[in-house]
Each structure stands twice: as C-alpha cells, then as structure tokens.
Amino acid sequence: MDIEHIKKSIRNVPDFPKTGIQFKDITPLLQAPELFNEVINIFYERYKEKNIDAIVGIESRGFIFAAPLALKLNCAFVLARKGGKLPSDIVTAHFDLEYGTDSIEMHKDSLQTGDNILIVDDLLATGGTTKAVIDLVSKLEGNIIELAYLIELVDLDNTLPLAEINKFSILKL
C-alpha cells in the first residue's frame, strides 16, 4: 500500500468551482491504473469480511469508486443521484453544500429492509451530502455499516452530521 503516491496524485485546484474553494482533482489518480487499483484494493481489504449487501455510491465521483468495489465485493451497486435524474419512484433529501444547496435521490426499490449498506464517496467536506444519503438509506430501512471516502478534508467540520456512524478515509488532507 502506497498512500504517499495516492496522496501525491491528488491535484489541488484553487478557487474552483468558486472563489475560496480548494477543489481536490482526482483525475490524475484515475489516469494511473496502478493507483486507482490500489485505492479499490484498500477499500476491498477493509470491507471484504463485513457482509455488505449494497454499496450506495454518491453522484458523481463516488460512483467511480463504488461501482468497481461493488463488483469486487459481489454486492449490489445503488445510485444516490442529484435531483431529477432517476426515472422511477424515488425518495429525496435536501442538503447544504460547501458552496450552495442541492437535493439527492434514490429509487425506493433500491434497498431491502435490513440490508447492510456501505456509503461511498470520493470526498468528505462538510458532510452535508453524506448526511442526506444517510437520511435516504434510513428511509429505506437499510443498516449502514460505514461511510467510506478516498479523501477527508480535516480542516472542515464534518463531525456533527455523521457522529453516530463509523467512517473511513484513505487520505486525510
């Protein structure tokens, strides 16, 4: 496991998408198959014995890590999408972002009552998006095992909305 190489592959883009935001660009990591594979393997090693029934990937960059991990764990991959993107019956939650507000949705039939759920996203900033997905999984009566991230921004307060659920981050920046 080479955390330092993974860390060095994350590009910081100042003032994107607006002034004051330090955007963490993961595209260099994704362009290096050995590093991308290493990230998936780190997640796999952590969750292979956790009896995960479904991984909920958060749009959009959470999909990048959630889908291959779901295949490797042989479990379902469930989409948590921005409002207005899913075609069937949905549950919706609204949330605040670091730079605005949004909504997120899941199909009502995407989880079974009592399913063991892993929620995956690329980055944890304030926790607003994750909290909204937690609310959706709770509405669908899923059992959240853990929250998993490639990157956790440690200078931002993300503890309050997520205090009662274990979280794991490969990188703390």
In sequence order, which residues have a C-beta less than 8 Å from that of residue 83 and are 6 or more positions away?
A: 92, 102, 103, 104, 105
Mean pLDDT of the chain: 93
Kindly list the structural domains of the chain, giving each domain's residue range(s) and its CATH number in brackets, ordered by start.
50-172 (3.40.50.2020)
Residue 160 has pLDDT above 60, yes or no: no
Summarize pLDDT for 82-123 with one digit per residue, the tens.
999 999 999 999 987 656 688 999 999 999 999 999 999 999
Across 32-53, average pLDDT: 97
Q: Which of 26, 74, 14, 27 is nearest to 48 (CA)?
A: 74
Across 133-146, average pLDDT: 96
Measured distance CA(15)–CA(23) in Å, rounded: 7
Residue 159 has pLDDT above 70, yes or no: no
Residue 21 has pLDDT above 80, yes or no: yes
- Tell me, what's the pLDDT at 163? 64
Active site residues: 61, 98
Measured distance CA(42)–CA(33) in Å, rounded: 14
Amino acid occupying residue 36: F
DSSP string, 45-111: HHHTTS---EEEEETTHHHHHHHHHHHHHT-EEEEEEETT---S-EEEEEEEETTEEEEEEEETTSS
Q: How confident is the model at residue 157 (pLDDT cuts 50, 70, 90)?
A: low
